[in-house]
Amino acid sequence: MIRFFQKTYAMSEKGAKDLRGAIIWTIVMDLSFMFPVVLGFKFLDEYLGVLLHASGSRGSSILSYVVMAFILFLVMLIITYFQYDSAYTRIYEESARRRISLAETLRKLPLAFFGKKDVADLSSTIMEDATQIEQLFSHTVPQLYAAIVTIIIMGVMLFLYNWQLALAVFWVVPVAALVFYLSRKFQSRSHVLLYNLKRGISDSIQEGLDAIHEIKSYNREEARSLIINGELDNYEETLIKSELLTGALINVSYAILKLGLPSVILAGAYLVSTGTISIFTYLVFLVVAARIYNPIMEALNNFAALIYLNVRIDRMKEMDHMPRQEGRTEFQPKNYDIEFSNVDFSYQDDMQTLKHVSFTAKQGEVTALVGPSGGGKSTVAKLSARFWDINNGRITLGGEDISLIDPETLLENFSIVFQDVTLFNASVMDNIRLGKKEASDKEILQAAHLAQCDDFVRRLPQGYATLIGENGEKLSGGERQRISIARAMLKDAPIILLDEATASLDAENESKIQSALSELIKNKTVLIIAHRMRTVSGADKIVVIKNGSIAETGAPWELEKQQGIFSSMVKAQYQNN
Ligand SMILES: Nc1ncnc2c1ncn2[C@@H]1O[C@H](COP(=O)(O)OP(=O)(O)OP(=O)(O)O)[C@@H](O)[C@H]1O
């Protein structure tokens, strides 16, 4: 049973055990709700038995019934407490565990996985889905399983008591369940459809918000609204259709269940008239028939909710089964040379991005990746830090295969300065501190100074304590980049990955960043994505990447002599300047 719950509901072992406990307590609670009915019948049997089936005998006093009722009330109270504790407290604990485990999964996914589209989707899986699931687990699931077991127990007891009337009570249940079962396929399909539509809408909204500047500057607000409105209309239409059909099927099931009571009335009256059963038995079944269909309807309702749960659980399982990046957490390389040997890589199955890429970026040297746009420079740089795992070949750091090293451990050795700097709505100081969380204020100020941040920070209202807005919106591109360089300085990792995209900066800013960078890269393994040939002349080694393959490699002066791609790029750039 534990295994079944773990597999079906993507639960931890402890969570599955707690769910079993919640179900057992809910069964006990459901059965305990029959205590007053049983006591009532015993009372009726004793006091009115003579009238009903000529066998009553007054054994107990009314006071003893009051005492028994009080004791039963206390027992029911205790049972309800345990049911509450098992269904709510523990299931919510499992929910917390589930969220933590999803967050852990995210940590182990390749960095490249976190495209903008997926981030909206992932946060909705962690927050919204996990909340829905926790509600279903605390209410629906224990109630459903408990209702099934309770109804079976009561059914067996009623059949043993009188099979003809039990048949009159229960014939409707399999028929109603059959209608429900037949509708299950439809419900399940429409829930998957609705869920995916909803995910699509949140992606579109997220995308719209992310690109709000572009949308406004190109006057695309109306077109964008039309797209989102269209998606919302489609969702609404599908939702109404699904609700109508699901509602209709559920109501057919309810209507069938409602035939149960008239069946008992008719069959009971007939059996009493033929003297097959006593009026007392008839009464018992009438009371049972009046009470039993509500829990069955509830069970059917819960069953419908469970179908919805499955869609969400499947999404969680999908996340759980995504390929994770794992590896050794101890890593002491003998040096920091990065070596690519025959590396093949593709983002999508049908398109190879890198083909047989081999080169070495040596420690203490600057290796510049150059080549036409879209050739694969950024891809090579990111692969060296294991943002993705490669398809073929080997990438080593200090002779050790990086695919065997835990990505977080590996990244401790990298300082990365890319074009798209991410800043947080915190102070300048705290944004730089991201490079080394235990750094003292003095170290941070030193790194900021080296990265030429002092002059622009001085102009900010509270200096280094100024909050810089969502993703540093109050700063210019060059200022953001210098903060990113300060972070890298502070981290002082042995390998530097640098996207030297400073072409958009003015001359003063550019020279400041260049001097900051020259401080940063001293004595490190430096892999630089170079856009300007001027800066590349100082590199120790050039690797020209074109169409995903290495076209040329060597020292700048060697390549200039070859009159190949590199030399024509250098010439083209000088002609343009
Ligand atoms: N996340 C991604 N998913 C799918 N394809 C991608 C992804 N990132 C890059 N590509 C594709 O891989 C190829 C190489 O891209 P890459 O960014 O490595 O080139 P690049 O040489 O750095 O270009 P640029 O100089 O313009 O920055 C391109 O065809 C690009 O469209």
Smallest CA-to-CA distance from 18 within 28, 6, 7, 30 is with 6
Task: Give the mean model confidence (pLDDT) for residues 11-22.
Answer: 84
C-alpha–C-alpha distance, residues 261 and 267, integer Å: 10
Helix (H, G, I), strand (E, B) or coil at 332: coil
The string of DSSP letters for 452-468 reads: T-HHHHHHSTTGGG-B-
Task: Say if residues 104 and 317 touch (Cβ distance below 8 Å).
Answer: no
Tens digits of residue pLDDT in 202-239: 878 878 887 787 777 777 778 888 888 899 999 999 88
Tell me the percentage of the chain whose pLDDT exceeds 70: 91
- Could you tell me whether strands 495-500 and 414-417 are parallel, antiparallel, or unpaired per DSSP bridges? parallel
Judging by beta carbons within 10 Å of its beta carbon (0-12, 13-18, 19+), is residue 383 exposed, middle or buried?
buried
Question: pLDDT band at 353, cuts 50/70/90?
Answer: very high
Amino acid symbol at 15: G
Distance 376 CA to ligand 1 centre (A): 6
Neighbours of 337 (CB within 10 A): 18
pLDDT value for 57: 57
C-alpha–C-alpha distance, residues 361 and 506, integer Å: 30
Q: Which mutation among 119, 347, 373 tests ligand 1's pocket best, with the greatest number of atoms within 8 A of CB?
A: 347
C-alpha–C-alpha distance, residues 357 and 341, integer Å: 6
Is the domain 327-413+493-577 a CATH 3.40.50.300 member?
yes
Question: pLDDT band at 116, cuts 50/70/90?
Answer: very low
pLDDT value for 501: 57
Amino acid symbol at 197: L
Amino acid symbol at 464: Y
C-alpha–C-alpha distance, residues 161 and 34, integer Å: 16
Q: Which mutation among 345, 377, 384 tests ligand 1's pocket best, with the greatest number of atoms within 8 A of CB?
A: 377
338-348 per-residue burial string, b: 16 or more CB within 10 A, e: under 16: bbbeebebbee
Smallest CA-to-CA distance from 235 within 190, 270, 273, 272 is with 190
Tens digits of residue pLDDT in 22-75: 888 988 888 888 788 788 878 877 777 666 555 555 566 778 888 888 998 999
Out of 70-84, 289-303, 543-557, least confident range:
289-303
Distance 293 CA to ligand 1 centre (A): 62
Tokens 């059909």, residue located: 245
Task: Give the mean model confidence (pLDDT) for residues 469-492.
Answer: 82
Ligand 1 binding residues, C-beta < 6 A: 112, 347, 353, 371, 373-379
pLDDT value for 117: 47
Out of 372-386, 397-411, 534-548, least confident range:
534-548
C-alpha–C-alpha distance, residues 386 and 78, integer Å: 56
Distance 394 CA to ligand 1 centre (A): 20
Residue 401's φ and ψ, nearest 5 degrees, are: -65, 120
Neighbours of 147 (CB within 10 A): 21
Distance 374 CA to ligand 1 centre (A): 5
Distance 500 CA to ligand 1 centre (A): 16
Distance 377 CA to ligand 1 centre (A): 8
Where residue 472 falls (left for φ over 0; alpha for ψ -120 to 50; beta otherwise) is left
Neighbours of 4 (CB within 10 A): 10
pLDDT value for 550: 94
Intervals of CATH 3.40.50.300 along the chain: 327-413+493-577, 422-490
Tell which atom from ligand 1 comes closest to the C-alpha of 375. 21
CA atoms within 13 A on the CB side of 489: 26
Q: Which mutation among 378, 387, 536 tests ligand 1's pocket best, with the greatest number of atoms within 8 A of CB?
A: 378
Intervals of CATH 1.20.1560.10 along the chain: 2-320
Tell which atom from ligand 1 comes closest to the C-alpha of 115. 1
- If one compares 479 and 515, the residue with the highest pLDDT of the two is 479
Question: pLDDT band at 191, cuts 50/70/90?
Answer: confident
Amino acid symbol at 576: N
Out of 1.10.357.10, 3.30.930.10, 3.40.50.300, 2.160.20.80, the CATH code matching 422-490 is: 3.40.50.300
Which range is most confident: 225-234, 284-293, 504-513, 546-555? 546-555
Task: Say if residues 150 and 31 touch (Cβ distance below 8 Å).
Answer: yes
Tens digits of residue pLDDT in 279-314: 888 888 888 888 888 878 888 777 777 777 777 777
C-alpha–C-alpha distance, residues 98 and 13, integer Å: 11
Distance 261 CA to ligand 1 centre (A): 69
Edge-to-edge strands of the sheet including 525-530? 414-417, 495-500, 525-530, 366-370, 541-546, 549-554
Tell me the percentage of the chain whose pLDDT exceeds 90: 22
C-alpha–C-alpha distance, residues 308 and 326, integer Å: 33
| CATH superfamily of domain region 2-320 | ABC transporter type 1, transmembrane domain (1.20.1560.10)
Shortest-distance Cα residue to atom 31 of ligand 1 = 374
Tens digits of residue pLDDT in 328-344: 888 888 899 999 999 99
Task: Give the mean model confidence (pLDDT) for residues 352-358.
Answer: 94
Residue 272's φ and ψ, nearest 5 degrees, are: -65, -45
pLDDT value for 78: 93
Question: In the predicted model, is pLDDT for residue 519 greater than 60?
Answer: yes
Tens digits of residue pLDDT in 244-266: 877 787 788 888 988 999 999 99
pLDDT value for 33: 80
Task: Say if residues 474 and 468 touch (Cβ distance below 8 Å).
Answer: yes
Shortest-distance Cα residue to atom 17 of ligand 1 = 378
